[in-house]
Structure 1
Amino acid sequence: MRIPRLALMAGALASVLFAGTAPAAAVSAPAYKPVLAKNPIYKTGELGLETCEEPKVLTGSAEEVKGYMDVVLDCLNTAWEPKIKKAGFAFSKPSFQVVTKVGAATGCGKYPWGALAVYCSINKKISLLVQPALVEEQADMLLLVTVAHEYGHHIQQLTGMLKAQTRYNGKNEAKVLDEMRRLELQAECLSGAFIGDVWHSLGRRQTEFDYIVKGGGSGGGLGALGI
């Protein structure tokens, strides 16, 4: 799931405030399941698509955003399908829907407040909420980054990583939150790998690249672009 950058900034600030000034205790690195730490997808090499003609989104209407997602998801499918198969997993395309209000059905409950987009692992569907933040500042590439991020969760589903996530049992909150954080960061990394692969075909300016690498548009930066 991807949340607006304002919420990300608020969350980061809260973590600083609650951290206080006490020194961190030395802890050993936690052990993770092999499907998470040593997944075959990690050794499949660079993506080889290189070209994706990103459509223009000018009005931000549901129909326009749907057309945009059609094209970008086709690029993502083309880029990731050979890597998923090379890693030994079955590939399937995600479905998607564009919704216009919070509370719409997603397959995993109702669309939550505060989310730009969500991925449901039950029906392998990406749901994206049409809202001004997605198109109000074209230079921050928020729409492209958001779609690629949710596709990152689809990759996690196809490769068994989402299924391996620890379930909350009332006593393991710290572990569950740690894995959730890592899965979200990984989805952002997978998003960056795709954007970096097709960057030179997008027709974007160098200033736009500099903007997202510095974190101005995505809330967390895309240093993983790898160009």
Structure 2
Amino acid sequence: MRWSPGGRSDNLEDRRGASGGGGFRGGGGGGMKLGLGGTVVLLVLSLIFKRDLLTEFSGGAPGVQTAPASQSAPVTDAGEEKMVDFVSFVLDTAQVTWRTLVPGYTDARLVLFREGVRSACGDASAASGPFYCPGDQRVYVDLSFFDQLDRQFGAPGDFAQAYVLAHEIGHHVQNLTGTEKAMRNAVQRNPAAGNQLSVAMELQADCYAGVWAHSAARSGIIEAGDLDEGLGAAAAVGDDRLQKMSTGRVNPESFTHGSSTDRKAWFRKGFDSGDPRSCDTFGQGR
């Protein structure tokens, strides 16, 4: 991608010095509540590492006690600081795109953290992966996830990282447009449809990431090979691929994000059209 280091977004909150984010609640006193993206990533990581991370980090595991947040200063690392500049750049370009497409669009904020963080959706660990919290309209990212995206998921490259952030901003768009609330209400009425609706939400966020990529291409940000990196990242986190990696089997009924093929297809649809109206994953229009 074409970009210049050195800029920081006004919508960036750097909490990397607050290690642990206030700790995690133990017992039954109300545990972590993640946005859809974070919850699903935590479930996926539970499969990969063969640990019930969702229960553990939601307060169901014994011995996880609340601890005060550390106020140590952020560790300065040239590589990580360049990454901060990069995610700031992607955040700003994504939101410029959505300001032109969604009337009354209000910016999300991006929170960088290490190890753990407290959000309006509850306490979260780095193991949850990047997530969006509708309650405070913030995207939460531990930058170490991008290294995992490369090493564990086989999706290297800066545009792969940009796709992840653009996907989370897609959830912000869903929140502003009422899709997120409508989805929650639909699940309350019909819990059995929860997985199907979750897949539709996530594929729509992929399509919205593609809409941003279309805008980025028109503005000259994208270089040769970038689109392939984005498509590769979308495929790398498909439910079928992750299930195959963790268990050797694929169970479509348990999908929560969509298959690799579908994630690539919807990202590409958004990229080709540049129009969020093309992202009707609930109607499954192709």
What band does the TM-score fall into relative to the shorter chain? 0.5 to 0.7
Deviations along 1:155-196, whole A, 9 cap, x unmatched? 011111111123555x83322222221111100110011112
TM-score scaled by structure 2?
0.51
Residues 117 and 126 in structure 1, CA contact (< 8 A), matched pair in contact too:
yes
Partners of 1:79 and 1:218 lie apart in 2 by 25
Is 1:180–2:198 an aligned residue pair?
yes
Equivalent position to 1:107, from 120, 124, 133: 120
Per the alignment, residue 49 of structure 1 pairs with none
Per the alignment, residue 127 of structure 1 pairs with 140
Equivalent position to 2:223, from 189, 204, 210: 204
Structure 2 matches for 1:58-97, cutoff 5 A?
A: 60-61=79-80, 63-85=81-103, 90-97=104-111
Letter of the 2:120 partner, please give it.
G
Kindly state the Cα deviation for residue 91 of structure 1 after the two structures are TM-superposed.
1.9
Structure 2 matches for 1:1-227, cutoff 5 A?
A: 1=37, 7=44, 60-61=79-80, 63-85=81-103, 90-101=104-115, 103-112=116-125, 114-131=127-144, 132-134=147-149, 138-139=156-157, 141-167=159-185, 169=188, 172-199=190-217, 201-206=220-225, 208-213=226-231, 217=236, 219=238, 220=260, 221=264, 222-224=267-269, 225-226=271-272
Letter of the 2:130 partner, please give it.
A
Bigger mean CA deviation after superposition, 105-114 or 173-182: 105-114
Aligned residues: 171
Higher helix share: 2
Letter of the 2:223 partner, please give it.
R
Partners of 1:108 and 1:199 lie apart in 2 by 34
Letter of the 1:173 partner, please give it.
P
CA-based RMSD of the aligned residues comes to 3.1
2:139 alignment partner, SS class: strand
TM-score scaled by structure 1?
0.63
Partners of 1:193 and 1:122 lie apart in 2 by 24
1:69 alignment partner, SS class: helix
Percent identical: 21
Kindly state the Cα deviation for residue 133 of structure 1 after the two structures are TM-superposed.
2.2
Gaps of 5+ in 2: 1-36, 49-76, 239-259, 274-286
